[in-house]
Structure 1
Amino acid sequence: MADVNKPGEKKFHPYDARDVEKPLSNCDALFSLVKCVVGSGCLALPLAFYRVGYIGGILMTIFMTAVLIFGLQLLVRCMVESSRQNMVGYMNFPETMTYAISVGPKFCQCLSKCAGHFVNGILIFFHYGVCVVYIVFVSINVKQVVDYNYHERINTRIYCFIVGTLSLPLFSLRHLKYLVPTNILATLLMYTGLACIFYYLFTNLPPIDEIRQFNSQLSLFVGIIMFGTSSVGVMLAIEAKMATPGSYVGWLGVLNRCALFVAVTYILIGFMGYWRYGDYVAASITLNIPIEEAINKKTVIAELI
């Protein structure tokens, strides 16, 4: 691609031309990024480790996370370069795809507009599906608790309607900045829940030689890990709303710091869940946890002592 700047002219930089109404700080972006990546998908990681073995799971989690982050960093850099060549502050994913194909080989330039619409369709379909999964997941877990404690059998669709309705105010927020407090609260609650799950994962561990080091069901592992880590649309939206978007990519950027934190969390959940339950690990690790008991503070202290 030809350089849009003439010799002697000051080089145009898209970051300088961005005008973000409610910008995110680096800390805001990190919390939002962790929250958008770590979700219910992490509860299926023990099953993913069962598919490839615990050593295979550790290695493949590191590899898949590295590939995802490399691809996302490459995409962000391409979007910035497209913005620079068009001399605008920001070009989104579909616009970047349209422009990249329009200046590519002549035989595919006619597909540039179709490519932009295709990316839009993929993002809409993907995020709609993810949101539906989360609403169903929350509804089923709430139903399980209510059914056991209150013995009232209510249809799951009613729970989905209630959860979806309660989520509408959050869906109506137009600025990611307003979601930062809820992201921080949700992250704290999520890791509190994971700590409760770890209480069961770290007790009554069988000998480690009872679980496989390697297994051959790689495709199933890739599907689970991609569901648990991929959230491209939200990742790009966070970068677009940052006060200092240059801090998003790079070796010590927000994206890499989040990836390291998420990879450690996922490896710990997947490895410990598979070690604890072995061949009997369920599709979600919460299904292996007994529902007839609640974690008691005295019991936890006694176990630790």
Structure 2
Amino acid sequence: MGAKGDVKVTRKLLSSTTSYEDSGAHADVILQQSGDFTEENRTSSCKTLMNLLKGNIGPGILALPIAFKYAGLWAGAVGLFMLGYISLHCQHMLMTCSNILKERPISMGERLGYAGVVENCLATGPIFFRKFQNAGRVMINVFLIVTQLGFCCVYIVFVAQNFRQVLLGSNKENGELDLIIMGIELIVVIIYCTTIQTLHGLSYFSYVANFLNFAGLIFVLYYVVQGSPPQSERPAFLGWYDMPMYFGTAVYAFEGIGLVMPLKNKAADEWDFSRRCGLLSLGMTIVIALYIAIGFLGYLKYGDHVLGSITLNLPAVDMLSRLTKITFVVSVFVTYGLQFYVPVNILWPKIEHRLSSPRAKSVGNVVFRILLILLTGAIAMVIPHLDLLIALIGALASSSLALIFPPIIELLTLSAEGNRPSVLIIVKDVAIMLLGLLGCITGTYAAILGIVNVS
């Protein structure tokens, strides 16, 4: 098919694809994507920065102390710093490629999300790759589905383990109680997710979750800064053996690349958001600093006894500690519906068109949601280990979206129309891609091996 045919096919695809297929890894992505891009609906710089911070600071930050346990105190801090800024660079690459693609006839100035950027770079890149444009969009959506459902699984385990400690007033393991709580939790989640099916209803829960997240982090910092041992008592570097687990856990936290395009498209000043020292860089610098602080101080405080979430290490009988856990439990629970929205709205239209009557579609939607929720619950019950589950989702899915796809997108975008990227760009992109692939393969293997060994 010639270039003209590619343009026609892709324009048809873009016009028939709804915005949720470009949703990113956070609930805020969905909320940002749901609005139009008229001038009166654009967000101010302050609100854009707050959305960026809220979208990147979630349950993943609570697992960072155990990431330091795999790497060591200072190796963990340096690794998190480097990984954070590589991730930031990949976000800038994605925005730059989006701007380049927007000027090409195939896009005609249209604002693109992550999947749209992938589809367009394939459609306008080297001729050999143009036939894969549909597969590119499908692949991104598959990784988004896996990532979002993985988050939902993590949320179920997180709520069960923290709520168990609140009920018992003890840090002792109790697998049977975890399973009971998961069962009750699934029933409540099913009711929650089948009765609230619109973004308008879910947006109120997003505001509640964001407030609770920041309040909970303040409580956590209050605990970890008290009574910590000297840094000399913690190893600076623990060797390379557990680095794949460190990588998976850390990348899980840096899951916000899908948030970048919606925020850029909605920002009142797109240039200020996307420039090298602009709003995105400022926001991610704050995020990286918070990540390093929680990871460093949490591991310094609890050492080898640190658990899959720092909240599980907090005193069991302290009222403030219980309040902290309840804060995060409520925050994570209400966020489940927002994360769940992405896979439902990517998958359900594929099923809906096969049903004829409105009643069949209504019943089918509810049944589909229930089955998907039960799937996440089943995975959570099979892998009730928070640290291993987080490492698996981070290495398998998050690393691909954050580190592997952006370099490929840049190389394809800059190789269009007979052009060729510079040697420096090729070497840089290949290095980032190899880092992502190495972390993805070794991290996934290490997490699966850990799950098998504890089963």
**Equivalent residue for 2:263, pick from 213, 216, 238:** 238
Which stretch shifts more, 261-270 or 98-107? Answer: 98-107
| Matched residues, number | 274
Which residue in the other structure is 2:184 paired with?
Answer: 158
User: What's the RMSD between the two structures over aligned residues?
Assistant: 2.8
Instruction: Provide the C-alpha distance between the structure 1 equivalents of 2:301 and 2:67, rounded to a whole number of angstroms.
Output: 14
**Equivalent residue for 1:95, pick from 111, 116, 123:** 116
Is the contact between residue 140 and residue 156 of structure 1 (CA under 8 Å) also seen in structure 2? no
**Equivalent residue for 1:288, pick from 313, 331, 337:** 313
Is the contact between residue 19 and residue 89 of structure 1 (CA under 8 Å) also seen in structure 2? no
Instruction: Provide the C-alpha distance between the structure 2 equivalents of 1:132 and 1:21, rounded to a whole number of angstroms.
Output: 38
- CA change 1:137–1:207 in 2 (3 A) is same
Which residue in the other structure is 2:137 paired with?
Answer: 116
Which residue in the other structure is 1:300 paired with?
Answer: none
Instruction: Provide the C-alpha distance between the structure 2 equivalents of 1:218 and 1:70, rounded to a whole number of angstroms.
Output: 22
**Equivalent residue for 2:252, pick from 203, 216, 227:** 227
Which residue in the other structure is 2:286 paired with?
Answer: 261
Is the contact between residue 211 and residue 275 of structure 1 (CA under 8 Å) also seen in structure 2? yes
Give the secondary-structure state (helix, strand or coil) at the position aligned to 2:134: helix
- TM-score with structure 1 length normalisation? 0.79
Tell me by how many angstroms 1:143 deviates. 4.6
Which stretch shifts more, 22-31 or 76-85? Answer: 22-31
Q: Mind listing any 5+ residue stretches in structure 2 that lack a counterpart?
A: 1-36, 171-176, 322-455
* Structure with a larger share of its residues in helix: 2
Which stretch shifts more, 209-218 or 57-66? Answer: 209-218
Instruction: Provide the C-alpha distance between the structure 2 equivalents of 1:20 and 1:182, rounded to a whole number of angstroms.
Output: 26
Instruction: Provide the C-alpha distance between the structure 2 equivalents of 1:278 and 1:19, rounded to a whole number of angstroms.
Output: 51
Is the contact between residue 102 and residue 109 of structure 2 (CA under 8 Å) also seen in structure 1? yes
Calculate percent identity across the aligned residue pairs: 27
Instruction: Provide the C-alpha distance between the structure 1 equivalents of 2:41 and 2:194, rounded to a whole number of angstroms.
Output: 21
Is the contact between residue 51 and residue 215 of structure 1 (CA under 8 Å) also seen in structure 2? yes
- Larger relative contact order (C-alpha < 8 A, sep ≥ 6)? 1
- CA change 1:166–1:101 in 2 (3 A) is same
**Over residues 240-297 of structure 1, what are the superposed CA-to-partner deviations in whole Å (9 max), with x where a residue is unaligned?**
222332222123322111111111111111111111111211121112112122239x
- CA change 1:241–1:286 in 2 (3 A) is same
- CA change 1:225–1:168 in 2 (3 A) is farther
Is the contact between residue 56 and residue 213 of structure 1 (CA under 8 Å) also seen in structure 2? yes
- CA change 1:194–1:230 in 2 (3 A) is same
Query: How do residues 14-163 of structure 1 correspond to structure 2 at under 5 angstroms?
Result: 19=38, 22-85=41-104, 86-148=107-169, 155-163=181-189
Give the secondary-structure state (helix, strand or coil) at the position aligned to 1:162: helix
Residue 144 of structure 2 aligns with an amino acid whose one-letter code is L
Give the secondary-structure state (helix, strand or coil) at the position aligned to 2:286: helix
Tell me by how many angstroms 1:231 deviates. 2.5
2:324 paired with 1:278: no
Instruction: Provide the C-alpha distance between the structure 1 equivalents of 2:160 and 2:273, rounded to a whole number of angstroms.
Output: 34
**Equivalent residue for 2:214, pick from 191, 203, 211:** 191
Give the secondary-structure state (helix, strand or coil) at the position aligned to 2:274: coil
Is the contact between residue 45 and residue 266 of structure 1 (CA under 8 Å) also seen in structure 2? yes
- TM-score with structure 2 length normalisation? 0.54
Which residue in the other structure is 2:199 paired with?
Answer: 173
Instruction: Provide the C-alpha distance between the structure 1 equivalents of 2:196 and 2:98, rounded to a whole number of angstroms.
Output: 28
Instruction: Provide the C-alpha distance between the structure 2 equivalents of 1:172 and 1:138, rounded to a whole number of angstroms.
Output: 24
Which stretch shifts more, 89-98 or 268-277? Answer: 89-98
